[in-house]
């Protein structure tokens, strides 16, 4: 049954050794070196010489930043092959820790991002330190909070609560709230934020998700109330409707005549076609 069609000619590619050699050569232009790094990511760990040459580029502050970032990306790609990468891992982590304190912000952020994904204790310590003392911060507070969310624990919650109480910026506050969504004790905070019509809508949306995770019954109750409230914002009602549709008690919703009436009204009144469609889909599920 198989039919063999004419295959294209094989692309002539440089050997992995040549690619690594070009990528790590300071005599080549940055653009060529960046491209060469992408050609042979799996060759990084083929020899110790390859690995050390790539790590040297990462560590060398005199190298162009885009080349150093490409070298980090190549290592990150090679790390997907866990077995082959095992012999490189120690030096890789040590180098990332070293450049986590690099003068260049992009290099720091890239290295700390990878270390955070590895649940690296050194990185967590530095991120927390920076939140407590902005003078020591290696990345902005919102990035630190996002990276700490890879491995949440009590100390991160404390740091996040401090940011919520004294936010250096709105984006940092929202990242702190995202982190606190993993904290079962934060239910009352998210209830308050969800029902506060003066609060940023993005925060109310985030609070709905957090509350659904922490206390689903509470979110379902609030979602219903917000759908019945004709003075509530349309976008928040859309979030409420999505919560009921996805996670609600189907039997209870189908019997809730007051709720269905309110959603019929929403379908008729909604300013946005998207919200109309959302209401229509909801009603088609629950109305017989």
Partner 1 sequence: MKVEFQINNSTSPNARFLGWAPSPCRIRVTDPSGAVPPIADIAISCVSTATGGVVVFRKGTTGSFASTITLKVPTNGTSVPFFTAGRFGRPSLSNPDVRIEARAKLGLAGGPLILVGSVKVMVRVRKNAESLTAGERDRFVAAFAQLNNQGAGRFADFRNMHTTVSSPQAHGAPGFLPWHRAYLLDLERELQAINPSVALPYWRFDQPAPKLFTVDFFGVSNPNGTVQLSNTNPLQFWVTDGVQGINRGPRNNWVPTTQPGPTVITEAQTLALGTQYPAFSGLEGNPHGTAHTRWDGFIRQIGTAAKDPLFFLLHCNVDRLWAKWQRLNGRFDPASAASYDSNPGNPIGHNLIDTMWPWNGITGAPRPPTAPGGALASSPCVSAPGPQPLVSSSLDYQGSINATSRQGFDYDDVRFA
Of residues 18 through 77, those in contact with partner 1 by CB under 8 A are 34-35, 37-42, 66, 69-70, 73, 76-77
Per rule CB under 8 A, count of chain residues that contact partner 1? 76
According to CB under 8 A, which one of 28, 97, 122, 150 is a site residue for partner 1? Answer: 150
- By CB under 8 A, which span of 50-58, 91-99, 169-177, 259-267 interacts with partner 1? 169-177
According to CB under 8 A, which one of 208, 227, 244, 253 is a site residue for partner 1? Answer: 208
Residues contacting 284, CB < 8 A, separation 6+: none
Chain Cα centroid distance, residue 95? 23
Q: Is 200 in the site for partner 1 (CB under 8 A)?
A: no
Q: Is 171 in the site for partner 1 (CB under 8 A)?
A: yes
Touching partner 1, residues 249-278 (CB under 8 A):
274-275, 277-278
How far apart (Å, rounded) are the C-alpha atoms in residues 128 and 154?
Answer: 12
According to CB under 8 A, which one of 97, 245, 280, 283 is a site residue for partner 1? Answer: 245
- By CB under 8 A, which span of 92-100, 126-134, 245-253, 256-264 interacts with partner 1? 245-253
CB contact at 8 A, 178 and 208? no
- By CB under 8 A, which span of 127-135, 160-168, 236-244, 257-265 interacts with partner 1? 236-244
Q: Is 79 in the site for partner 1 (CB under 8 A)?
A: yes
Residues contacting 118, CB < 8 A, separation 6+: 93
CB nearer partner 1, residue 53 or residue 76: 76
How far apart (Å, rounded) are the C-alpha atoms in residues 234 and 31?
Answer: 48
Touching partner 1, residues 115-144 (CB under 8 A):
117-118, 140, 142-143
- By CB under 8 A, which span of 22-30, 51-59, 110-118, 130-138 interacts with partner 1? 110-118
CB nearer partner 1, residue 229 or residue 235: 235
Cα dist. 288→245, 275, 279, 281 in Å? 15, 21, 15, 13
According to CB under 8 A, which one of 71, 123, 160, 236 is a site residue for partner 1? Answer: 236
DSSP assignment of 185-220: GGHHHHHHHHH-TTS-HHHHHHHHHHHHHH-HHHHH
Q: Within the chain, what is the greatest distance between any pair of CA atoms?
A: 75
DSSP assignment of 258-272: HHHHHHHHHHHH-SS
Q: Is 205 in the site for partner 1 (CB under 8 A)?
A: yes
Residues contacting 272, CB < 8 A, separation 6+: 234
How many CB atoms within 10 Å of residue 6?
A: 5
- By CB under 8 A, which span of 52-60, 93-101, 233-241, 257-265 interacts with partner 1? 233-241
């Amino acid at each position: 049954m198989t039919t063999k069609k004419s295959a294209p000619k094989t692309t002539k590619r440089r050997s992995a050794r040549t690619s690594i050699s070009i990528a790590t050569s300071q005599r080549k232009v940055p653009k060529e070196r960046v491209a060469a790094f992408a050609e042979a990511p799996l060759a990084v760990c083929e020899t110790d010489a390859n690995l050390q040459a790539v790590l040297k580029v990462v560590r060398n502050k005199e190298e162009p930043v885009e080349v150093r970032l490409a070298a980090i990306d190549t290592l990150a790609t090679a790390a997907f092959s866990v077995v082959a990468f095992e012999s490189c891992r120690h030096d890789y982590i040590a180098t990332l820790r070293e450049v986590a304190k690099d003068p260049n912000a992009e290099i720091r952020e890239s290295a700390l991002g990878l270390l955070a994904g590895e649940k690296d204790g050194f990185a967590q310590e530095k991120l927390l330190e920076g939140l407590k003392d902005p003078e020591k911060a290696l990345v902005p507070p919102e990035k630190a909070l996002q990276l700490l969310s890879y491995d949440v624990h009590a100390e991160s919650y404390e740091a996040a609560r401090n940011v919520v109480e004294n936010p250096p910026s709105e984006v940092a506050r929202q990242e702190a709230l995202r982190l606190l969504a993993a904290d079962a004790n934060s239910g009352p905070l998210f209830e308050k934020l969800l029902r506060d019509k003066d609060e940023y809508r993005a925060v109310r949306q985030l609070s709905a998700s957090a509350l659904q995770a922490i206390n689903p019954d509470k979110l379902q109750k609030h979602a219903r109330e917000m759908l019945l409230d004709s003075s509530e914002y349309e976008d928040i009602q859309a979030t409420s409707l999505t919560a009921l549709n996805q996670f609600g008690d189907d039997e209870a919703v189908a019997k809730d005549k007051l709720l269905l009436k309110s959603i019929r009204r929403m379908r008729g009144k909604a300013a946005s076609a998207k919200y109309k469609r959302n209401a229509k889909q909801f009603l088609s599920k629950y109305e017989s």
